[in-house]
Structure 1
Amino acid sequence: MKHQNPVTIAVVGLGAIGGVIAGSLAALGRYDVTVCVRTPIDRLVVERPDDTVDISIRALTDAADAEPVDWVLLCTKAHQTPMVAEWLTRLCGPRTRVAVLQNGIGHAERLAPFIGTATVVPTIVYYNGERLAPDRMRFRRAGQYELAVRDDVNGQAFASLIEGTPMRVLRSADFVTLAWRKLLINIVANPITALTLQRQAVFRREGIKALCVAVLEEATVVGRADGAQLADDEATQILATLLTYPADAGTSMYFDRLAGRPLEVETLTGAVVACGERFGIPTPLNRMLLVLLQAISDAA
């Protein structure tokens, strides 16, 4: 059924990921886009590879002012989900779709307590975003696609929503494998940059490459047990992908540590360790990284 009015979209979490996609959707001019923020803004600037978006934007700072929308794009860190519970409750109705643009696995289970009968659309994010100011973001490509979804009716609806933006969407029948492959990237990219306080140039070091492969090989055993169809040389493939990213690009965990914020460690490295425990698979390297990152996060 066609909408008589513009499709309504609420973006919850205006960090690097949320800011980029909010600006790109608003620039299309065919949607009613609202951003849900702590710091009020009236414009949003997104620096993209081929142009710069500079557009007025509607911002809400109080969840009490929110009403149900057609789409919620949840772009907070995964561990921050309970902090935006009131936003989700107010924005979600029976016909709402919630695209979860968060790291990790288990998107639907994480959202279930907060969205009532709304529909979860698990989404994998591949693009690199950087928050330069509360109202200014930088978008950089990091592969063949910017986003991935299941190839079902909800994934197709999300792909249609994004159509016309610079975001390329992959639809896949094997979302579990895609989710694990993204998780594998995150369990080396985020911890290593956060622990060394270096951007992605650090992955050009031979010792770091060897460490990454060992961490990844350990995690791929867990991923296969969880149903992911991972190749025998998955670890080296993931490292090769990581080395295609710009050397001066940061990661979300790197930026969080610089800012003294808690780290998204439980959803990434913690997910591998927890899944390993569930299947009785030892994960000593990932557990070591988890302990170190937890100490940093707790101090923050």
Structure 2
Amino acid sequence: MSPPAAQPPSTIAVIGLGSIGGIAAGCLLTAGLHDLFACVRRPLQSLTLDRPGSSATLPLRALTSPDAAQPVDWVLVCTKTHETEAIGPWLQRLCGPATRVAVLQNGLGHAERVAPFIGGAAVVPAIVYYNGERLAPDHVRLTPVGERDVAVSDDATGRAFAALFDGTPLRVATSAEFTTLLWRKLLINAAANPMTALTRQRQAVLRRPDIHALCLTVLGEAVAVGRAEGAALAEDEAERIMAALLTYAPGLGTSMYFDTLAGRPLEADAILGAIVAAGERHGIPTPCNQTLLTLLRAISDAAKTAG
């Protein structure tokens, strides 16, 4: 049997070149199989990608204005959730009838967030597992965690997205249990992000017995909500999530930790807010999640005012 014909290169626009988008762009550039450019605020000529055992500086094409953009095959939305409206002009210029939009963001409701700006283009919600750190505007570091780097639904668009990363360092998995995986990732974020942000400590803080116990309470509330939303979560899901988090290197940070240190707004509503809102829909109390959400909103609002 002859090998399958090689797929033609895709045109890919990456919006947001931070810890998530920088890694995705860098890995695609490493393989050199597609025509990729980044949508950024300031001009960049290259992107340095550090990953275990290697570092490479890769030439990068960057656009700084939506006016210079045209429809592409793929758009990778890699901004924070609260920045989605701000990138609307980019999405409107980049999306055509055949465009597919992969949303690599935290929380729930990926398709609903981008729908007002993409003119009916197909959406691929993506769950990001890898740990990324933005060392400079043109320099990112990838630390793989777990058995996969990204997960998407096992459907035609999900499989097409996974195919984009064939031959790259990123491990993209498809799953028929996407809703459950989405909630499991939300649980990881609900534990790790608030604790690291509020204590201003990296993931080593999760090893404190008192913080560990608090995480279990937060997760217990969220698991009950996730089940009501249709996720197939185990009876001991909270304990499993904490066990998984304790396998991560204690020196790793979280996105909310880095945003707190940098004085940037936080994704509190996309993570804890999603849990609290779903709890309200189902009549499930979430007092610990609500308390953390209130504290994080105060930090985020102060950052918005200062900015």
Same fold flag (TM > 0.5): yes
Alignment pair present for 1:152 and 2:151: no
Matched residues, number: 299
Cα drift, residue 90 of structure 1:
0.5
Match of 2:207 in 1: 204
Cα drift, residue 173 of structure 1:
0.7
SS at match of 2:168: coil
Cα drift, residue 280 of structure 1:
0.8
Residue pair 1:215, 1:286 contacting (<8 A) in 2 also: yes
Match of 1:95 in 2: 98
Alignment pair present for 1:41 and 2:41: no
Residue pair 1:24, 1:53 contacting (<8 A) in 2 also: no
Greater than 2 Å deviation, 4+ residue runs: 2-6
SS at match of 1:189: helix
Match of 2:233 in 1: 230
Structure 2 CA distance for partners of 1:4 and 1:150, relative to 1, 3 Å: closer
Cα drift, residue 4 of structure 1:
9.3
What does 1:68-83 align with in structure 2 at a 5 Å threshold? 68-83=71-86
SS at match of 2:201: coil
Cα drift, residue 106 of structure 1:
1.1
SS at match of 1:113: helix
Cα drift, residue 249 of structure 1:
0.6
Alignment pair present for 1:162 and 2:165: yes
Cα drift, residue 3 of structure 1:
9.7
Task: Supply the distance in 2 between the matched residues of 1:229 and 1:162 (Cα, whole angstroms).
Answer: 28
Match of 1:247 in 2: 250
What does 1:73-152 align with in structure 2 at a 5 Å threshold? 73-152=76-155
Cα drift, residue 31 of structure 1:
0.7
Match of 1:32 in 2: 35
Match of 2:300 in 1: 297
Task: Supply the distance in 1 between the matched residues of 2:109 and 2:70 (Cα, whole angstroms).
Answer: 26
Structure 2: which amino acid aligns with 1:181? R
Cα deviation code 1:34-76 (max 9, x no counterpart): 0000121100000011321211010001111011100000000
Cα drift, residue 271 of structure 1:
0.3
Task: Supply the distance in 2 between the matched residues of 1:109 and 1:239 (Cα, whole angstroms).
Answer: 30
Give the structure-1-normalised TM-score. 0.98
Match of 1:190 in 2: 193
Give the structure-2-normalised TM-score. 0.96
SS at match of 1:9: strand
Q: Give the share of equivalent positions with the same residue, in percent.
A: 62
Aligned-pair Cα RMSD in Å? 1.2
Residue pair 1:39, 1:134 contacting (<8 A) in 2 also: no
Task: Supply the distance in 2 between the matched residues of 1:140 and 1:153 (Cα, whole angstroms).
Answer: 29
Q: What are structure 2's unaligned runs of at least 5 residues?
A: none
SS at match of 2:107: coil
Q: What are structure 1's unaligned runs of at least 5 residues?
A: none
SS at match of 1:268: helix
Cα drift, residue 5 of structure 1:
6.2
SS at match of 2:43: coil
